[in-house]
Every structure is written in C-alpha cells, then in structure tokens.
Structure 1
Amino acid sequence: MSILNIYEVHVHGLFNGLFAPLYVGSTVEFLPKFSVSGIWKRWRESYPTEGYEADDAITVFTGVPTMYTRLIQGYHAMDPELRATSASSARNLRLMMCGSSALPQPVMQEWESITGHRLLERYGMTEFVMALSNPLKGERKAGTVGKPLPGVQVKILADEEHESEESGVGELCVKSPSLFTEYYKLPEVTKESFTDDGFFKTGDAVTTDKDGYFIILGRKNADIIKNGGYKLSALEIESVIVEHPNVSECCVLGVPDKDYGEIVCAIIVPAAKSEEESKPALSLAELSTWAKTKLAPYKIPTRLIVWESLPRNAMGKVNKKELKKLVTSE
C-alpha cells in the first residue's frame, strides 16, 4: 500500500496519514507542495491503462476539503480525453480520506460522481487524536463525522444559555484511552477544559442524526452565530451557499449587530468564468432569492462580501476570528 499524503504536519496528517500507515509497513509519499496537476498526473502514472497498476502505484490518498475543491476545478479545466483518463485512474485507488475541517456536501457529492469515491470523514483533535469516524465498510454519511471509535466515550454538554439536555445540541465532550493528561504548565486551563467526570470539552458544537451519526456544527466561539433567539451553524449555511453555480468558495461569519446580536455575513469567492463569459458579481438580492428554498429565512445572509480569495493558514484553514476582525473594521 502506498499513500500520497499532502497534509501539513498536524494530528490528522501525522497519525492517519503518516504514523498509522508506517506502523503497518506501508510506503508514504510526500509531495513538496500541493499541486493540482501533479496529483492528477501521479494518479495517471499509477494506473495508466485499464487493468494495469504500476509497481509504485498510489492506493490511498489523504487531503483537506480545500484540496478536493481545487482538484475538482483542475479536473474541469482538462480537455475531455484527459478528464476521462484522470477519472478512470482515480477510481482505482482503494481509499480516499478527508479531514482537518468540514467537507461541504456538494464537494463530497461531486467528487464521488467524478472518481466513484465517497470520502471517508472523521473527527479528531491534538488532545486525543481521533474520536469519531464514518465506517471504512458501511454507510458514510455526507455532512457527518460518524460515530465514536472503539474505546472512545462521548457526550453532549448542553449549553446552559439556550439548550437543554433533550435538544441534542451542545458541546462535544470526549473521554478516550489516547486523551492527553494536561496542558504543559497551564493548570488552570487544564482544569477548565475538563468536566468533573473526566471528559475533555472540545469547544465544538454538535448534534446527532436519527442514526447516531455526529454532525459538527462548528467551533462554539467562531462557527455558532447568535442571531436573535437562534443559534445558527455557519458550517451549515456555508455548505448550502457553496452549491450556488456562481460561488467557488464561501465563508460565513456572525457580524455584531445592535438589534439581533449578530447577523449572518457571507464572504464568497466567485466561480471562475471562461473568457467568453462576462463575470457578474453575485448580489445579495440574487443570493437571497436563490437561498429561499434551501435555508430558513433567519439563516439567509443579510450581508454579502465578494473577494477574489479567502485568506488561509498553512493548513488551508480560514481563521474566522481574524477574518471577523477584518470584516467588522471595514
């Protein structure tokens, strides 16, 4: 088994993309940097013709959501013959995984239509490595991170301000054999991070579906928007807006408002247009009309910002705290 790993060095990349495969004797291949054309080319080299597998073929691939978005864009930019060859080669991999941040359902669905792979999503943190996972064999539900792994205990801690135990919404708490003991030389932070019965408070708001699969609603301090009497998931709204044909990427924030506490603000990156097409900016009115059948009225953005790109860190994540400061200072 050969794994192509293009993660930055963090817990998901280290444990799932590096340590686990090395432990079972696999080869891990690193690219010097993320390259859309380079990855598609590597897969074509691995499976150049139907029924043939190169000796150094890649069999497993790991990546983050932004990378899959870029790979999809690169795929559509190919000529028809190269697209067919690339998709055929990708279908021969044994497994494709996604982690680090929430995977928008439209991205998962389009990737599956191109490659035949339903991406394997899980949930973990540096403090306990991995805790939840969709099954390797079984139903992988889009928009969820699966169920607790063997030996892992989880519970949902209700938010005193708005939720009740019966609501099924609250902060995810984890107890695991791999759970860390303490933050180095930070006893007070350590104490505040655990419940009285030893569960680690992750800071992530979650709920579950009817089958017990966990749904990450986002970081309590960054992805939960307090709008009037509602608590909204920015990740849910983002996953809908990114379905718009004129949207390439989207980031949703709660922006301070004197009447509602916070309003829903969407920052979008327009989809690329061909030279023959004009490139109209998506207006707030157009977005609102389009979203009416997909989102509850109170979830529809009331502010829209159009940028050429979203600022990201080395791991491909948008720092929403810094982005909110930037937006509110405008």
Structure 2
Amino acid sequence: MDLLGENGGPVRIAGRELGRDELLGWASAVAAEIRGADSVAVHATATPETVAAVVGGVLAGVPVVPVPPDSGPAERAHILGDSGASLLLAAGGAERADGEPPLVPVDALPRNGGERSGADADATAMILYTSGTTGAPKGVLISRGAIAAGLDALAGAWAWTPEDVLVHGLPLFHVHGLILGVLGALRVGSPLIHTGRPKPEAYAAAAQDDGGSLFFGVPTVWSRTAGDPSAARALGGARLLVSGSAPLPVPVFERLSELTGHRPVERYGMTETLITVSARADGDRRPGYVGTPLPGVETRLRGEDGAPVPHDGETPGELHVRAPLLFKGYLNRPDATAASFTEDGWFRTGDIATIGPDGWHRIVGRASTDLIKSGGYRIGAGEIENALLAHPAVREAAVVGTPHDDLGEQVTAFVVADGVEEKQLIDFVAGSLSVHKRPRVVHLVDALPRNAMGKVVKTRLTAP
C-alpha cells in the first residue's frame, strides 16, 4: 500500500525547501540504494536529508529506524544493534563509530528517481524505540496499515486538508514529529514548514509570513508561547493549534486561548498505539481532557484486579485500547509483547485515565508514577499539578508519590516558582482540592528534568 498521497505541497525544514517532485525523486534514489535491506537506520536530524531518507524507506518497503541525534553512545549502540539495521542513512560528514553499519551519505544521492512502493499494509514501516524508563529501549514495530489508518482518522478529526499549511518544530524521531508531522503532511498533501526548533517566534513568523494554519506542539512549546504574548497573538489567524505528547496544563490552555483566540485541540496516544483519542476541530475542547476515541478505536478502564471501572468521569483506572492502528509487537521481545496485552486482546497502555458518561477522556498519568495511593485514596498526580500551576508564582510543577510510614505514600511536589513558600503552596492546593490531595511536602527546585519531547522524567526527581 502507498502511504503517500498523490499530490502535495513543498516541505521546508529550517529554511531549506524541497518541492514534492524533488523530494520524491531524491527519496527514490534512496530507495534504490537500500532496496532489499532488512532495516535501515536514519540519523534523524531536523533536516531535508532525514525526510528524504525516511520517505526512501517508505518507497522501498524497508523498515526505518530513526536514531535520535542526541542519543548517547550506549543508547545509540543499543538501537543499532537491537534493530539489526544494515545501513545508516545520514548527511555526508556525519560521524560513524566503529562497528556501526555502513554509512549512506543521503545528500550525495541524485534527485531524479521515480519509484513507488507496493509493500503490503502489514509490512513494517517504522521501528521506533521507546524511552526505556523501565530498562533498555524496546523497538516498536509499526505497520504501514497502522500509520495509514491513524493519519486518515486524524485528518477527519482535525479537518486536515491540502489547503492547510502545517507548522511545527518537533524532533523527527518520534510519532509526533515524524509520523504525524512529516508523513501526515505528505499523505494529506498539505505543505509542511518545519521551523528547526519549536520556538514561539518561529511559529509566529510562519503564521504571519507563510500562512501557517495547523500548528503542532508539546506542552512546553505552548507554555513558552503563552509566555510570549506577541508571538501568541500572531497565531490568531491559524485554524487549529494541536497539543500532545503530554498533558497540557489547564492554566496554559486558558492563557493560550485568551491570547490566540483558539482553544487548543488535545489528543492522546503513545508509540505503540499512535493517536487513539482526540478532541475534534468542529467540536468541544475542554481543558484537562483529551477528547473521545477516533473512528475504529475502542477504549475501556480496568482496575488493578482486572475488574471494569465505571465511566463516571471520576473513578480512575488503567486505560486499555483496541484498534486497527496498534503496533505489531516489540522487536525480538515476544514475552514483553504478550505481557502488554490482556487475555481478551486489549492493549494495556499503562496510563491511568477517567472516562465520562459522554465518552470524554482525562489522562491522570502513568500507573507507575502518577497514581498515588495515600491513606486508602487513589490520587492522580495531574490534578494536583494543575492546581499548583494555577498559583501565579508557579512556573512548573511535578507531583509524585513518595514512601510514608503511615499513609503508604504521600503526595510530594517538585515546584519551580518565584517568591512563594512551601506552606503557602500546600494551603493553596488544599483550598481548591480535597484536603487529602494536598501535597505533604513541596520541594522548590530550579528546574524539572525533561526528555527531548519536553516530558518531565519523574524517575529523575530527587529531593534537593
């Protein structure tokens, strides 16, 4: 099946522009170079070479393994070794360590090919490596059919058409930046402007100078945009602002809405599922909620004992998903693949959520770090983080459960703030939420540890 649309606009990355015909010609030359390989790795910098390499893999029907350019030697060696990639695609001059696959200099290839792929829908298109917070990163096998189904569902949900101009500056080695932000534009046929880095001023310039209509960002991007009123106001002429990869704090949602005139669209997904739940372009958008399932997606909640959890909008449970856009499994990890599914075939996301009677989903957080069991209560960290962020002195907040002799776990907050004390923040939360949800301890810190997508890495939070 063909993942790419028949027509489309240009792709511009960090100021370098490729027309569609030039891109496909270049990618066809890549495809001729790699055809027959079991898989190929791509040094996934934010450059046209990365796009040509990825599209070349799509045309050749060869699985693509994006390698984060900032990965350390151990992580890079693991990805290249575990994936079995036989070639490494990169711009000429890229460094190659001893023992790595042979380097194919993408920028040295011609731009006059004309191949199209006929690979089956079940064929693996991407091998994306998870963050590895609970061990070595696992290779997630994503089929061509799953990508097509996911992108088509999002195009419908967001009314995404060739008339849009997509703008983002996200990394090109994750679902958000690469599959949605590059393959999505190529499949829909909309022009793509990648800003190199997701800076508010770059987004503003793309809106004002290039007619940007559809903007992708993670919460960190939107938080910085909301903190730059002139840049935010420049997005007033856009059609849709989309936030994902982590929950958008309610205060950021509200401030962004005030400045831009747009209520952001939030969506939910993960590497193994692509995007499964989203607000709609023509529907309601609620701060703190990620919307309703996309067509073809089923969701449910289960308790720790496996029993159904009511969809009452209040009771949290682990979110399970069943959909045609799920991953094929973990590469070389049959036991991990089997453990990630229930006996009746639902994927265990590991995320805790609530579902309302109207089907609206709210993500509480990860079961491993964001569900706090304190004094017999089950408390979602996200609700407390939003309460803290509502304080005018608080810039960032992360909440976890830490051991407590009496309660089992206590609510502990790590906060980046100016001119406020621990007790003031504890009392502030207790004034807006149930008393048992207030933080018992607040650590005032200079910054929160984050990964490349702007997500807080809670396993790296330590008391100062």
Q: What range is the shorter-chain TM-score in?
A: 0.7 to 0.9
Residue 104 (structure 1) aligned with residue 249 (structure 2): yes
Structure 2 alignment gaps of length 5 or more: 1-163
Residue 175 (structure 1) aligned with residue 322 (structure 2): yes
Instruction: Tell me the distance in 1 between the aligned counterparts of 2:394 and 2:196.
Output: 29
| Match runs of 1:291-306 below 5 Å | 291-306=429-444
Which residue pairs with 2:264 in the alignment? 119
Residue 149 (structure 1) aligned with residue 294 (structure 2): yes
TM-score by length of 1: 0.85
1:126 to partner: Cα distance: 1.1
Q: Identity over aligned residues, as a percent? A: 37
Q: 1:263 aligns with which of 410, 421, 443?
A: 410
Contact residue 284 and residue 302 of structure 1 kept, 8 A? no
Q: Deviations over 1:74-110 (max 9, x none)?
A: 22xxxxxxx3xx5553111111100000011111011
Instruction: Tell me the distance in 2 between the aligned counterparts of 1:302 and 1:155.
Output: 32
Which residue pairs with 1:6 in the alignment? 169
Contact residue 280 and residue 291 of structure 2 kept, 8 A? yes
1:263 to partner: Cα distance: 0.9
Instruction: Tell me the distance in 1 between the aligned counterparts of 2:346 and 2:426.
Output: 41
Contact residue 144 and residue 214 of structure 1 kept, 8 A? yes
Which residue pairs with 1:25 in the alignment? 189
Q: Deviations over 1:276-296 (max 9, x none)?
A: xxxx2x212211222232111
Which residue pairs with 2:309 in the alignment? 165
Which residue pairs with 1:248 in the alignment? 395
Cα pair distance change 1:287/1:23, threshold 3 Å: same
Q: 2:452 aligns with which of 298, 314, 317?
A: 314
Residue 65 (structure 1) aligned with residue 219 (structure 2): yes
Is the radius of gyration larger for structure 1 or structure 2?
2
Cα pair distance change 1:29/1:232, threshold 3 Å: same
Q: Partner letter of residue 262 of structure 1?
A: E
Instruction: Tell me the distance in 1 between the aligned counterparts of 2:301 and 2:372.
Output: 19
Cα pair distance change 1:164/1:57, threshold 3 Å: closer
Q: Deviations over 1:144-186 (max 9, x none)?
A: 111111111111122229x763475311111111112221111
Contact residue 250 and residue 269 of structure 1 kept, 8 A? yes
Q: 1:224 aligns with which of 366, 371, 375?
A: 371
Q: Partner letter of residue 437 of structure 2?
A: K
Which residue pairs with 2:76 in the alignment? none
Which residue pairs with 1:79 in the alignment? none
Q: Deviations over 1:193-221 (max 9, x none)?
A: 10111111000111112322011111000
Which residue pairs with 1:201 in the alignment? 348
Deviates more, 1:257-266 or 1:113-122: 257-266
Instruction: Tell me the SS of whatever aligns to 2:181.
Output: helix
Instruction: Tell me the distance in 2 between the aligned counterparts of 1:21 and 1:37.
Output: 22
Instruction: Tell me the SS of whatever aligns to 1:91.
Output: helix
Q: Partner letter of residue 386 of structure 2?
A: S
Q: Partner letter of residue 147 of structure 1?
A: T
Deviates more, 1:127-136 or 1:25-34: 25-34
Q: Partner letter of residue 174 of structure 1?
A: V
1:189 to partner: Cα distance: 1.1
Instruction: Tell me the SS of whatever aligns to 2:428.
Output: helix
Cα RMSD of the aligned pairs, angstroms, is 1.8
Contact residue 236 and residue 260 of structure 2 kept, 8 A? yes
Instruction: Tell me the distance in 1 between the aligned counterparts of 2:404 and 2:348.
Output: 29
Contact residue 12 and residue 124 of structure 1 kept, 8 A? no
1:302 to partner: Cα distance: 1.1
1:308 to partner: Cα distance: 1.7
Which residue pairs with 1:52 in the alignment? none
Q: Partner letter of residue 168 of structure 2?
A: N
Which residue pairs with 1:34 in the alignment? 198
Q: 2:381 aligns with which of 216, 219, 234?
A: 234
Instruction: Tell me the SS of whatever aligns to 2:329.
Output: coil
Instruction: Tell me the distance in 1 between the aligned counterparts of 2:404 and 2:325.
Output: 42
Instruction: Tell me the SS of whatever aligns to 1:268.
Output: strand
Q: How many residues align?
A: 297
Which residue pairs with 1:53 in the alignment? none
1:27 to partner: Cα distance: 1.4
Instruction: Tell me the distance in 2 between the aligned counterparts of 1:294 and 1:153.
Output: 34
Q: Deviations over 1:121-149 (max 9, x none)?
A: 11111112111111121111221111111
| Match runs of 1:135-146 below 5 Å | 135-146=280-291
Which residue pairs with 1:50 in the alignment? none
Q: Partner letter of residue 258 of structure 2?
A: S
Q: Partner letter of residue 42 of structure 1?
A: A
Cα pair distance change 1:291/1:60, threshold 3 Å: same
Structure 1 alignment gaps of length 5 or more: 47-55, 76-82, 272-279
Instruction: Tell me the distance in 2 between the aligned counterparts of 1:164 and 1:26.
Output: 42
Q: Partner letter of residue 453 of structure 2?
A: M
Cα pair distance change 1:101/1:253, threshold 3 Å: same
TM-score by length of 2: 0.61
